[in-house]
Structure 1
């Protein structure tokens, strides 16, 4: 009898011990999962596997170029808004959002094991918060009165040097130049009469930005075999402010390209505008009360400060654009 009691007691102790071990093991797993939840999904894998430096950038143009080259940044600013204003190239889910571009969260930097920050002169005020991290600056714009391909190619090559991938940067440039020329051929095949484009963005029903010859639209259209038309020289951001009525200065052989955002209320207000009607533009086919229909298309938002990455997006969207009015010239 005593031996049976001893056996039962030992068995009960063993079961209790095994249950305790199971509880401890599950607790450790839960703790580990909680600790890793501070890192975005797939980011830890990216950090371990990526051979290039772990880059953070507050600049959308730099981020877009890195993605297009095949070496996306580990972290960037305003990632959510990037999707609304830039869109393409699409930012990977593993790229972490460190907050506002102009005022990111410095506490997040230490959690990501960053190697380098790549910014532009616009973000110089942020550099003290990077501590000992090396910082490189890239300006994806042109300071010349008329922008050229090389104004954007040089900083792209510099970017390749900063991430230790100069060959990838050169290959990217060669490929993009080829793609722009191919997009131009496709565009001219679809619209053989369209050769001149004026590119604008609406602030409201009466105020617009017209992109000029010092913007990235100039070399992009040039590589496509098309001509950019502007009414004046651009400011430091590549555009000149104009009024709606100024569009009357455009010749009839110039198609108007409207870059979004363009809200539905704004569209409706323009349809009711006597100035817009007299200009002869319409967002719909055969919908101008004056009977005059000038050539027009609307493109999704294209980031003006995105360098060659933005040129590629513009070319792709133009290639697939549908024009209304003026019988497509």
Structure 2
């Protein structure tokens, strides 16, 4: 789906954003199926269109890493995404299970409990924004929340357009999008990550041109960031506590031009394999990243 290139007004963006979050309150009171969710991107998607599941996986970590949308305390935690508690799932007896291609190997077991609604968002080499949008629309259609889905997508498109307008006055430097593994290693997000896809949509170039597997590289040494000295660096949380303490004293880290020149943005945690809500959180956090969006100096 092409993003609308018409210059938005602040009022139009606020109106769209408000409408996206207002939908669940004004939708009909038609009963929804009781849903259990295995995949985090699908959990984000369901919550974003006003559907609260009865159960989902790894909720403690989700609340620490994905952060949003907020998961009500009423949602039962099914344990690990790869090995959910099947006995508990059978006891809960949902009407529908939301999953993804990451857990296709578990599908026969899930289908013995309830029908499975599965969508593929992340594939190697495929930008995930459009698949995430399609997954939201498909889930909205299935659950009678299509208007909410379309409203959310429109609001996100408007927010991307606003950020695209802001970066037009910024120095046209490429950007490394990374997560920190430890004080000596990082993973770079490529064009098949949600962050890399959104970066392109706001008009910036990804400094990482190497291969990726399901959105990111295997861990590589921090010194690899010196290969593109003009690139800015955006660190997407979470950052391990040990690395957060050691990096500021690391000679290799401090020798990087982006670090020495203050061209690093440290973002709060975002779900690395999230859906459109993760994209929206990335847009908002990047837009508040301070020096990153300063005008061309």
- Which of 296, 299, 307 is the matching residue for 2:264? 296
Contact 2:178-2:235 within 8 A present in 1 as well:
yes
TM-score normalised by structure 1 residue count:
0.72
TM-score normalised by structure 2 residue count:
0.79
Alignment of 1:150-165 (within 5 A): 150-165=130-145
Equivalents in 1 of 2:256, 2:148: separation in Å? 47
User: Which of the pair has the greater relative contact order for Cα pairs under 8 Å at 6+ separation?
Assistant: 2
Compared CA separation, residues 70 and 180, structure 1 to 2 (3 A): farther
**Number of residue pairs the alignment of both structures matches:** 268
Does residue 279 (structure 1) correspond to residue 256 (structure 2)? The answer is yes
Contact 1:142-1:151 within 8 A present in 2 as well:
no
Moved over 4 A (4+): 326-329
Does residue 173 (structure 1) correspond to residue 162 (structure 2)? The answer is no
Contact 2:54-2:75 within 8 A present in 1 as well:
yes
Equivalents in 1 of 2:270, 2:201: separation in Å? 17
- Which of 95, 118, 123 is the matching residue for 1:137? 118
What is the SS of the residue equivalent to 1:228?
A: coil
Compared CA separation, residues 135 and 176, structure 1 to 2 (3 A): same
Alignment of 1:1-329 (within 5 A): 51-127=31-107, 128-144=109-125, 147=127, 149-185=129-165, 187-188=166-167, 192-193=170-171, 196-252=174-230, 254-282=231-259, 292-323=260-291, 329=297
Equivalents in 2 of 1:95, 1:241: separation in Å? 34
Equivalents in 1 of 2:258, 2:216: separation in Å? 24
Compared CA separation, residues 142 and 184, structure 1 to 2 (3 A): farther
**Which stretches in structure 2 are left out of the alignment for 5+ residues?**
1-28
Contact 1:115-1:133 within 8 A present in 2 as well:
yes
Equivalents in 1 of 2:295, 2:157: separation in Å? 30
Contact 1:136-1:162 within 8 A present in 2 as well:
no
What is the SS of the residue equivalent to 1:159?
A: helix
Shift of 1:56: 0.6
Contact 1:271-1:277 within 8 A present in 2 as well:
yes
Compared CA separation, residues 180 and 74, structure 1 to 2 (3 A): farther
Equivalents in 1 of 2:238, 2:113: separation in Å? 39
Contact 1:208-1:244 within 8 A present in 2 as well:
yes
**Which stretches in structure 1 are left out of the alignment for 5+ residues?**
1-48, 283-291
Contact 1:260-1:298 within 8 A present in 2 as well:
yes
